[in-house]
Amino acid sequence: MANARLLRSLRTGRSLMPGQQGKIMSESPTSIVGRDHRNVGFVEAFQLTFKNYALFSGRSSRGAFWFWVLWTIIISGVLGGIDSVLFGKVGYLQGLWNLATLIPSIAISARRLHDVGRSGWWQLIGFTVIGLFVLLYWYCKPGQEQTNDFGADVEAGRA
Q: What is the pTM of this model?
A: 0.73
Residue 63 C-alpha from the chain's centroid = 6
pLDDT at 36: 62
Cross-strand pairs, 151: 148
Q: Rounded to whole angstroms, what are the CA distances from 105 to 84, 110, 111, 126, 136?
A: 25, 9, 10, 14, 15
On the question of pLDDT at 23 being above 50, the answer is: no
Residue 135: is its pLDDT beyond 50?
A: yes
pLDDT of residue 17: 43
Q: What is the pLDDT of residues 92-105, one digit of tens each?
A: 999 999 999 999 99
Average pLDDT value over all residues in the chain: 80
Instruction: Determine the Cα–Cα distance for residues 57 and 157; give it in Å rounded to an integer.
Output: 10
Q: How far apart are CA 60 and CA 157, in angstroms?
A: 9
Phi-psi map region of 40: left, alpha, beta (phi>0 left; psi -120 to 50 alpha): beta
What confidence category does residue 156 fall into, taking pLDDT thresholds of 50, 70 and 90? Answer: confident
pLDDT in tens, 73-124: 999 999 999 999 998 888 899 999 999 999 999 999 999 999 999 999 999 9
Share of the chain above pLDDT 90, in %: 48
Please give the pLDDT value at position 71: 94
Q: How confident is the model at residue 140 (pLDDT cuts 50, 70, 90)?
A: very high
CB 87 within 8 Å of CB 65: no
